[in-house]
């Protein structure tokens, strides 16, 4: 009896395993079928989401066109373009003013350099004229001083010669007086006087 129970148990185990395998295979098949037959969600039950998004974009674009969005965009772009053109014109004006100022200052610098060169040349000429006048004045002063010195020397020489002549005349008169007194008597003087008167 034990022998008959062991095969029955084996049969029961095999039958149970087969039943479980069948259940597993059925569950996998059902899961696969459910995955294959899974439906996409529908908007209000009739439209897929892609169609709803596309329709919404079309409606939004239509509203924007109806409200004049392109005109607003082009108007904004036109105003921006006009503003940029005005800024460019202002920049051109500022550049022209800067160029004129640069030219004016360059002319002023060139004029200042010319004026400085002319002033330097004038100062050089004045210095040369002052030096020439000083040299001429120096020559004239030296000549005047030399003439004054020569005049003084001449006056001193004349005074010395006159003094010597006076001294010589005085000495000659004294010597003549002595000689006359020694060589002539009153009678001789009378004869000489008479001769002198007769000669007149």
Q: For position 33, what pLDDT does the model report? A: 46
* End-to-end Cα distance, the chain: 235
Q: Which residues of 184-195 are buried (b: 16+ CB within 10 A; e: fewer)?
A: eeeeeeeeeeee
Task: Report the chain's C-alpha Rg in angstroms.
Answer: 76
Say which residue the tokens 């995955």 belong to: 35
Predicted structure pTM score? 0.32
160, two tokens = 């010395």
At residue 183 the predicted structure's pLDDT band, cuts being 50, 70 and 90, is low
Percent of the chain past pLDDT 90, that is, above it, reads 28
Place of tokens 């004054």: 148
3-state secondary structure of 9: helix
Are 21 and 13 in contact by the 8 Å Cβ rule? The answer is no
**At 48, is the secondary structure helix, strand, or coil?**
coil
pLDDT digits (tens, 9 = 90+) for 16-55: 544 454 454 554 554 454 445 556 666 666 667 777 788 8
CA 33/CA 174 separation, integer angstroms: 188
């Amino acid at each position: 009896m034990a022998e008959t129970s062991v095969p029955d148990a084996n049969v029961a185990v095999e039958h149970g395993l087969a039943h479980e395998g069948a259940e597993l295979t059925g569950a996998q098949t059902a899961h696969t079928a459910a995955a294959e037959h899974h439906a996409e969600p529908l908007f209000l039950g009739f439209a897929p989401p892609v169609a709803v998004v596309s329709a919404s974009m079309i409606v939004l674009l239509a509203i924007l066109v109806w409200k004049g969005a392109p005109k607003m965009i082009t108007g904004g772009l036109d105003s921006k373009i006009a503003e940029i053109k005005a800024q460019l014109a202002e920049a051109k004006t500022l550049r022209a003013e800067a160029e004129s100022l640069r030219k004016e200052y360059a002319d002023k610098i060139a004029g200042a350099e010319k004026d400085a060169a002319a002033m330097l040349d004038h100062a050089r000429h004045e210095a040369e004229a002052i030096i020439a006048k000083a040299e001429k004045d120096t020559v004239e002063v030296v000549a005047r001083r030399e003439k004054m010195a020569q005049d003084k020397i001449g006056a001193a020489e004349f005074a010395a010669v006159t003094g010597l002549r006076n001294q010589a005349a005085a000495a000659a008169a004294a010597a003549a007086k002595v000689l006359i007194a020694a060589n002539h008597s009153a009678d001789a003087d009378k004869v000489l006087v008479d001769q002198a008167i007769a000669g007149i």
